[in-house]
Structure 1
Amino acid sequence: MMTTSDKKKIQQDFKEKMDYDELLNCMRCGFCLPSCPTYIETGHQEKYSPRGRIALMKGITDGVIEPDDDIAHSLDLCLGCRACEPVCPSGVQYGHLLEDARSILQKHKKESVPVKILRKGIFTELFPHQNRLETATSLLGFYQRSGLPKVARKIGFMNLFPESMATMEKVLPEVPKRKEIRQRPRFFEHEGEKKATVALFAGCLMDTMFFSTNNATIRLLQKAGCDVVIPENQLCCGALHGHNGELEQAKEMARKNIEAFEASDADYIITNAGGCGAFLIEYDHILADEPEWAERAKLFVSKLKDISAILVAFDFQKTHHLKLPAQTVTYQDSCHLRNVMHTFREPRVLLQSIEGVKYEEMEGADTCCGSAGDYNIVQPKMAMQILDHKMGKVEKTQANTIVTANPGCLLEMKAGIERVGKTGQVRAVHIADLLLEALE
């Protein structure tokens, strides 16, 4: 529970740190309401809408509303999918407001010792250190190869965990050995006519748990005529920190990433994870008040492109023959790739260019699947509710291949397939993996 002193400190921080002009930009028109998953899923409760949450933030900033646990829950329940932004006639940067508000509330949050230790372990000791992530995921790989998963499921051990976590354990990709990760080169030469030098943002989980997808991305870039550099010393993008109130830690990671990629002097910086890309492309926003970094961040952002965008820009689908066995394919947008990076046409162009593919657009493909970073872990009930509705939309397409452009979405769709009992009949795949499959 918040004390009176805590509430006054929070109100003061809201007054000093929230962008009041941005709060005033919201006209309360309600155009955002039909696009907000939590507003819909909670039976149209205003406090779980973007408009309602902005009103709560403004009320705290104005000193007419006292912050409490209910308001904190309202902000925590937000997916941060930012589907409200493209439909807003005033162009309100809701995502920026949400992250600033969460950062303030997290600063004043009273947490138990175990929670503090857990947060410190995740946000400070693990994700900012790629070598530690490699060690952690290599242990997962050992567990997968040991045969223990089958034993754990057979004896019912996984039933001790929440249903969402037990399902997720089944659909995790096979993690490569640490030696394989460490031995991959840092430079890959183009094939055919050279078109550009690109630097790959390898990511934290993408370069461990989804290592094969990164390798597929590299191969596609080579085929497209790109020299590919993987800069050393790059870190996690910081999205996990930014979305969970650890904004100062996210800024520090942004500075280190900018420094790492400056050394590559690449024409483009390529990402294959919508969630990472959306945070990377806002480095100029989070570092705007730091004179030493503001311009460097702008240059970094100006070079950033999703893998699908660079491939279409270089006419990859026209210069390469893509073919797959006959199948029906549908596409689930990464919320952040669509709503923040504004990349949604390119993945569809690539998929529709594959011979043998019947492309079916999914109703509501632009709405969140329920993954939203760590949302499906911290808000499992709402996440599963959203996922179940999403799988109903998938069923209508009669697709046997669901394509995504973000690791979290990929795992969530795989979990959805498991939940509806379609494992072996329907598959979920990252667009880079599918394109390489079609190319080879």
Structure 2
Amino acid sequence: MDALVKKRIQADFQERMNQDELENCMRCGFCLPSCPTYIQSGYDETQSPRGRIALMKGIVMGDIEPDGNIEQTLNECLGCRACEPACPAGVNYGQLLEEARDIFSKHKPYKLSTRIIRKTVFDNLFPYQGRMENLTSLLGLYQKSGLQKLTRTIGFMKLFPESLATMEKVLPEAPRQKEMKTRPAYYKSLNSTIATVAFFKGCLMDTMFMETNKATIELLQKVGCEIAVPDTQNCCGALHGHAGEKMKAKELAKKNIIAFEKVQADFIITNAGGCGAFLHDYYHLLEDDPEWAERAASFAAKIKDITAILVELGFHQLPLTLPAQVVTYQDSCHLRNVQKTFEQPRLLLKSIGGIEYAEMKNADRCCGSAGIYNLVHTELSMKHLDYKMEQVQDTAATTIVTTNPGCLLQMKLGIEREGLSGEVRAVHIVDLLLEAVSDR
């Protein structure tokens, strides 16, 4: 990183970073026990929230130069935001982190291959749901044509890193393209209507995890919801926001706000903790835009996780039963730390007859998925996953429940890595609750 680039980064830090927020950090250390990277690093201060804030502040004050080591430290943060509930001063660490990453990304001289990958993923794939559907269809063709079996038989997957090869095993069966393209935009309640809601269907959730989206709608219908699914909605922008693509995230946010403003709904329901948290943070993403700030705040105020509305509407009071099994729950970091939703999933699980619920130690600690963290920081991610699987095995659980697609794939990956396939399963809470409904 040459001197001119460093000067530009520092100038952007001084202009864009919220100095009041930086000053709010009292360096009290309450965040330290909650930070997975700090613990995993062996208590390296630069891997803690207050350490990273100190680095940001140092750049702003001109005490230190921005360099590749600082950028790496910021990028190695999981972004789980567990430090925020622990902070007595209420520092919005996640917002500082995203701003700092965006500044570094803006000035980073990415090599050509990286630029191509970033442009393909962030500009030409996730913003277009039709392309996501086409990609999922190709995955389905790979799974159903015999090609998947062939690649495994000849050992082709051994050419890839172990984690990627294992991830290929745990991907869900992809739906057919016709299924993805032929769904209604409105669903009636199955009982007397109590609420009218809009459903944020997401990118991966509405393609690779389409069955979970269908289950979500069925549960909402059962508790008296009429559901609108705006067809002009798009990716929430979370991956963009976390990876230093803030302007693209803002574009996606504005499109979603427009799409949902056309629907007169009491709430906007999500079933992916990461998406829900980023949608909830639209008020911050667009707070400096006079045209959009109020609209973003109104949108964000309607965001509600599926587990929260199910509890509000009494789903846990229905007769719910499952075959005997031990169930544990892995918190979605952003669902817990940003949307403050953690009691509701547990209440729903404990209301199911026939099962034994076992609370996992440190269920609120990040599993290491963290968006695409397990792809770009694989070794670190696997260390977090190994710790998580130790806690799972201590519960003797046969079913691990999550509320986010990334967490779900990560837990499936952990099951494979530990050789527990066939003994333990990982499932989205929506799918488990639908299994438990006795009148299906």
Normalised-by-shorter TM-score class: over 0.9
Deviation at 1:437, TM superposition (A): 0.6
1:246-257 aligned within 5 A: 246-257=245-256
Q: Name the structure 2 match of 1:116.
A: 115
1:396 and 2:394 matched: yes
1:378-417 aligned within 5 A: 378-417=376-415
1:25 and 2:24 matched: yes
Deviation at 1:10, TM superposition (A): 0.4
SS in 1 for 2:85: coil
Q: Name the structure 2 match of 1:348.
A: 346
Taking the aligned partners of 1:98 and 1:157, their CA distance within structure 2 comes to 38
Q: How many residues align?
A: 438
1:367 to 365, 368, 377: 365
Deviation at 1:191, TM superposition (A): 1.3
SS in 1 for 2:163: helix
Q: Name the structure 1 match of 2:88.
A: 89
Taking the aligned partners of 1:94 and 1:288, their CA distance within structure 2 comes to 17
Q: Which whole-Å deviations, capped at 9, do the CAs of 1:259-299 have from their partners, x for residues lacking one?
A: 00011111110000000001000000010011111111111
Q: Which whole-Å deviations, capped at 9, do the CAs of 1:378-426 have from their partners, x for residues lacking one?
A: 0000000100010000000000000000000000000000000000000
SS in 2 for 1:86: helix
Q: Name the structure 2 match of 1:14.
A: 13
1:195 and 2:198 matched: no
Q: Which whole-Å deviations, capped at 9, do the CAs of 1:207-230 have from their partners, x for residues lacking one?
A: 000000000000000001001111
Q: Which whole-Å deviations, capped at 9, do the CAs of 1:169-193 have from their partners, x for residues lacking one?
A: 1000011011001111111100112
1:15-414 aligned within 5 A: 15-318=14-317, 320-414=318-412
Taking the aligned partners of 1:191 and 1:136, their CA distance within structure 2 comes to 34
Please tell me the residue identity of whatever aligns with 2:145.
S
Q: Which whole-Å deviations, capped at 9, do the CAs of 1:230-260 have from their partners, x for residues lacking one?
A: 1011000000000000000000100000000
Q: Which whole-Å deviations, capped at 9, do the CAs of 1:9-49 have from their partners, x for residues lacking one?
A: 00000000000000000001111111111111111111111
Taking the aligned partners of 1:164 and 1:25, their CA distance within structure 2 comes to 39
2:420 to 416, 419, 422: 422
Please tell me the residue identity of whatever aligns with 1:44.
Y
Unaligned runs of 5+ in 2: none
Taking the aligned partners of 1:161 and 1:20, their CA distance within structure 2 comes to 44
Q: Percent identity?
A: 63
Taking the aligned partners of 1:412 and 1:146, their CA distance within structure 2 comes to 26
Q: Supply the RMSD in Å over aligned alpha carbons.
A: 0.6
Q: Which whole-Å deviations, capped at 9, do the CAs of 1:74-127 have from their partners, x for residues lacking one?
A: 001000000000000100000000000000000000111111111000000111
Taking the aligned partners of 1:156 and 1:50, their CA distance within structure 2 comes to 42
Please tell me the residue identity of whatever aligns with 1:334.
S
Structure-1-length-normalised TM-score: 0.99
4+ runs deviating over 3 angstroms = none
Q: Name the structure 2 match of 1:4.
A: 3
Please tell me the residue identity of whatever aligns with 1:86.
P
Q: Name the structure 1 match of 2:434.
A: 436
Please tell me the residue identity of whatever aligns with 1:103.
D
Taking the aligned partners of 1:63 and 1:9, their CA distance within structure 2 comes to 12
Taking the aligned partners of 1:397 and 1:381, their CA distance within structure 2 comes to 25
Q: Which whole-Å deviations, capped at 9, do the CAs of 1:304-337 have from their partners, x for residues lacking one?
A: 100000000111111x211100111000000000
SS in 1 for 2:292: helix
